Amino acid sequence: MIAAPHNSETLPNALDDDLCLGAITEEAARIVRERDPALLAAVEPYDSPEDLAAALRAKPQRDDEGIPCDGPKVAACRPAQRLRLFADDPNCVERSFDWMVGAELLDPTPVRRLATVETSNGLHVFPTEDGEPVILDPHTSRNALRAALFRAGRNALRNADDIATRRLRIERLMGTDETKGTRGDLARARKSKAAGYTTWVNGEPIDEAIAKYERTLAMWQAKLDELPRNAGPVRNAAPVTLTPTEAVEWISQLAEEPAVRFKNGVRRARNGARAIRGVLVGRPICVADVRDVAFVLALADREARHWGPAGQRVVRTCAHAVDKLDQAAAQQWLDERAPRNAPELRIGRHRITPNVPLLAALGRITGRLGTRVGIEALRLKRATMGVTPPVLSTIEQELNREGLSLGALAAPPPMPGTLRALTPEVLAGHYLATKL
């Protein structure tokens, strides 16, 4: 179904785009209703609106330079917009018109509307299907158009009652004197007729041009008369509110489009979004998923700049919340799996539990004994390799000059037959040295 343009809803009776897109929408509805033969022939090769959109994206672009004789024009637009049906080199207005009429014949169920938004490349016209932007210009991203619609809606809410501004814009479109706006066009057409000219600059009869400007002037005057003369502006728009689930889904949608430009980007974006959703239900982020989660949040933060400061605040607040929730979920996971009681052995009615402090003390004693046994083994092995005590003394002296020391290894092994050679650690070290 072809519906009224977005601008008619967000800024009723205020923008010239309301009149321009309204006239284009009415023309689209007319040729669909009348089953124009040229339209039917142009749409016949396509099976779905998606196929039609892909074909329109592949066509080269030729901007409308405002040349009067460059194709049929929509006079309600200021300046008048070129509008050709399924041209080989359309601009954004013609692409949007072609897709809307063609898609309506292929599938009339969705609601389709036109919109004009401000982008980094200037004003851009595009269609929407059930509120979702349809990409017909390969150089414009879906996120940019979504953000532009969002900003337009908030600006409309903020300025919907600013009647003085709206009156001023319509008055300028009409023309403040006989040299400007529609009044100026009408005056020049009448002057040309009085001079004996029979055609206007675009080739149409001079009388038709005069009648067209008179109708346009009367229409804008009627719009101006509908506006109240006293009204106060609305200063603030409503705040942006999202539930945690809505914020995560929005971030996931932001990351989807730029992810396709990276290797395995779609899979990584899907995996990262799944991990973030898991945090909301208390499931900690797996170490293997951390990279994908960072990938999603980084892409979303970059794309959120289209929405302005509010969009970036949503992404960064969500990232901070995900970090805190992940820490809490990970701690809960560890607490649930930590041993609550010491191990025990049950035999009938008897219960045997280990003495944990004693086991800990035995572990420390074993560690110290093992260190001493290892040192004795190294001393004996060193002696068998010909490193005599005088050599050790010389090495130790040189190390001491540099602030270093061999420590316990500087002492020579105990002399065989002495009591020192009969200590347990020396005996164990001698056995260990024979195994090295």
Identify the three-state secondary structure at position 195.
Answer: coil
pLDDT digits (tens, 9 = 90+) for 109-149: 888 888 887 777 777 888 888 878 888 887 777 777 777 77
d(CA 151, CA 118): 9
Q: Report the candidate in 303, 314, 302 with the shortest Cα–Cα distance to residue 244.
A: 314
Q: Report the candidate in 139, 142, 143 with the shortest Cα–Cα distance to residue 58.
A: 139
Are residues 12 and 151 part of one domain?
Answer: yes
Asked if 218 contacts 210 with a C-beta cutoff of 8 angstroms, the reply is no
What mean pLDDT is predicted for residues 345-353? 67
Q: Is the pTM of this model over 0.85?
A: no
Q: What is the pLDDT of residue 407?
A: 74
Asked if 49 contacts 108 with a C-beta cutoff of 8 angstroms, the reply is no
Give the domain-ending residue among 128, 160, 192: 160
Is the predicted pLDDT of residue 10 greater than 50, yes or no?
A: no
d(CA 125, CA 56): 14
Give the domain-ending residue among 305, 337, 369: 337
Are residues 152 and 180 part of one domain?
Answer: no
Q: Report the candidate in 292, 291, 287, 279 with the shortest Cα–Cα distance to residue 323.
A: 279
Q: Which domain holds residue 257?
A: 244-337
Asked if 23 contacts 122 with a C-beta cutoff of 8 angstroms, the reply is no
What mean pLDDT is predicted for residues 202-209? 86
Q: What is the pLDDT of residue 164?
A: 64
Burial environment of residue 24 by CB neighbours within 10 A (0 to 12, 13 to 18, 19 or more): buried
Identify the three-state secondary structure at position 371.
Answer: helix
How far, in Å, are 315, 321, 331 from residue 324 at the CA level? 14, 5, 11
pLDDT band of 354, cuts 50, 70, 90: low
| Sequence-distant (≥ 6) Cβ neighbours of residue 260 within 8 angstroms | 266
Q: What is the pLDDT of residue 144?
A: 77
pLDDT digits (tens, 9 = 90+) for 82-109: 888 888 888 888 888 888 888 888 888 8
Are residues 127 and 12 part of one domain?
Answer: yes
Helix (H) or strand (E) holding 33: helix 16-33
| Sequence-distant (≥ 6) Cβ neighbours of residue 2 within 8 angstroms | 25, 28, 29, 32, 100, 104, 112, 113
Task: Count how many domains the chain has.
Answer: 4
Q: What is the pLDDT of residue 232?
A: 47
Are residues 390 and 302 part of one domain?
Answer: no
Lowest mean pLDDT across 56-70, 238-252, 318-332, 363-377: 363-377
Lowest mean pLDDT across 40-54, 160-174, 277-291, 380-394: 160-174
186 in a domain, yes or no?
yes
pLDDT digits (tens, 9 = 90+) for 260-296: 889 888 899 999 999 998 888 888 888 888 889 999 9
